[in-house]
């Protein structure tokens, strides 16, 4: 089950907590992976850890020309892209009234527009091959909203609508398009929380623990696999029961 031998995957945000776990999990199932992010050294360290079947493709997703080059670069490195994981994401939080145009534009560009461009580039050859997987990492807050994250929640909600639309267009061509929506995941960001903040978060999570990056990675492995071929246009919520949608 869930064997990805011979498959190729492009993972953005591979230098991050969740993206690194996704890349490792896809690789462990046998996939060849292209690791993308802005920090070349961190990418190279991850590639060295993975050993064979790992390529390093630095890219700033805030720059349109670099985004447009990424899928062709991945295709050149691996032959083709069977699995695209749009995982890179940033936050620029502020209460709505203080949200600047710049904070809005940056979050939309990196979190949403890059996913649009990469998906558009990757889906072409997927359609031709009658096979492919596009997985975008959205967030629970894209569905529930969150005070202080108007820009981020907008980008994450838009990702879901975009994925559903593309899913409908390409379903008959064997390409599936889905989202994974993490809840609270333990990353360096959540490590910074104090005991009290942590307690109040955990009260909202029936599973009574923070999620791990591996929890998200496992969901991606499933959606990337042949076994998930009949699942498309969906958002898989991985949140310990924090919101049941």
Partner 1 sequence: MSEIADQVKKIVAEHLGVEPAKVTENASFIDDLGADSLDTVELVMAFEEAFNTEIPDDAAETILTVGDAIKFLEKNAA
Ligand X SMILES: NC(=O)c1ccc[n+]([C@@H]2O[C@H](COP(=O)([O-])OP(=O)(O)OC[C@H]3O[C@@H](n4cnc5c(N)ncnc54)[C@H](OP(=O)(O)O)[C@@H]3O)[C@@H](O)[C@H]2O)c1
Q: What whole-number distance in Å separates Cα of residue 136 and Cα of residue 178?
A: 6
Is residue 240 involved in binding ligand X (CB under 6 A)?
no
The answer for residues whose C-beta is within 8 angstroms of residue 50's C-beta and 6 or more apart is: 23, 24, 27, 33
Is residue 182 involved in binding ligand X (CB under 6 A)?
yes
Is residue 148 involved in binding ligand X (CB under 6 A)?
no
How far CA 78 is from CA of 7, 38, 129, 156, in Å, comes to 9, 20, 15, 29
For residue 115, which phi and psi values (nearest 5 degrees)?
A: -65, -40
Could you say which of 7, 86, 152, 215 is catalytic?
Answer: 152
The nearest distance, CB 13 to ligand X, in angstroms, is: 3
Closer CB to partner 1, residue 39 or residue 128?
128
Identify the burial level of 105 via C-beta atoms within 10 angstroms of its C-beta, where 0-12 means exposed, 13-18 middle and 19 or more buried: middle
Closer CB to ligand X, residue 88 or residue 167?
88
Interface residues toward partner 1, by CB under 8 A:
124, 127-128, 169-170, 172-173
Helix (H) or strand (E) run with residue 165 in it: helix 150-170
Closer CB to ligand X, residue 60 or residue 173?
60
In the list ligand X, partner 1, none, the entry touching 124 (Cβ below 5 to 8 angstroms by class) is: partner 1
Is residue 17 involved in binding ligand X (CB under 6 A)?
yes
The nearest distance, CB 42 to partner 1, in angstroms, is: 36
230 has catalytic annotation = no
Stretch that binds ligand X, among 69-77, 122-130, 169-177, 179-187 (CB under 6 A): 179-187
DSSP string, 108-157: IIIIIIHHHHHHHHHHHHHHHHT-EEEEEE--THHHH--TTBHHHHHHHH
Closer CB to ligand X, residue 89 or residue 132?
89
Active site residues per annotation: 152
């Amino acid at each position: 089950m869930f064997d990805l031998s011979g498959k190729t995957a492009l993972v953005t945000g591979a230098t991050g907590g969740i993206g690194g776990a996704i890349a490792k999990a896809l690789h462990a199932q046998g996939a060849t992976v292209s690791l993308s992010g802005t920090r070349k050294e961190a990418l190279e360290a991850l590639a060295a850890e993975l050993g064979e079947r790992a390529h390093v493709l630095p890219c700033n997703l805030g720059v349109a020309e670099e985004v447009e080059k990424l899928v062709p670069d991945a295709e050149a490195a691996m032959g083709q892209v069977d699995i695209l994981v749009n995982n890179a994401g940033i936050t620029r939080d502020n209460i709505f009234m203080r949200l600047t145009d710049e904070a809005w534009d940056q979050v939309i560009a990196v979190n949403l527009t890059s996913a649009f461009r990469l998906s558009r580039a990757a889906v072409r050859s997927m359609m031709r091959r009658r096979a492919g997987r596009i997985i975008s990492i959205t967030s629970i807050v894209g569905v529930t909203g969150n005070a202080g994250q108007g820009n981020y929640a907008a980008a994450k909600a838009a990702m879901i609508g975009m994925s559903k639309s593309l899913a409908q267009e390409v379903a008959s061509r064997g390409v599936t398009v889905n989202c994974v929506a993490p809840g609270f995941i333990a990353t360096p960001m959540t490590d910074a929380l104090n005991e009290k903040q942590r307690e109040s978060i955990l009260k909202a999570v029936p599973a009574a623990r923070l999620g791990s990056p591996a929890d998200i990675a496992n969901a991606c492995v499933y959606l990337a696999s042949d076994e998930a071929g009949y699942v498309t246009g969906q958002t898989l919520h991985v949140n310990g029961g924090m919101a049941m949608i």
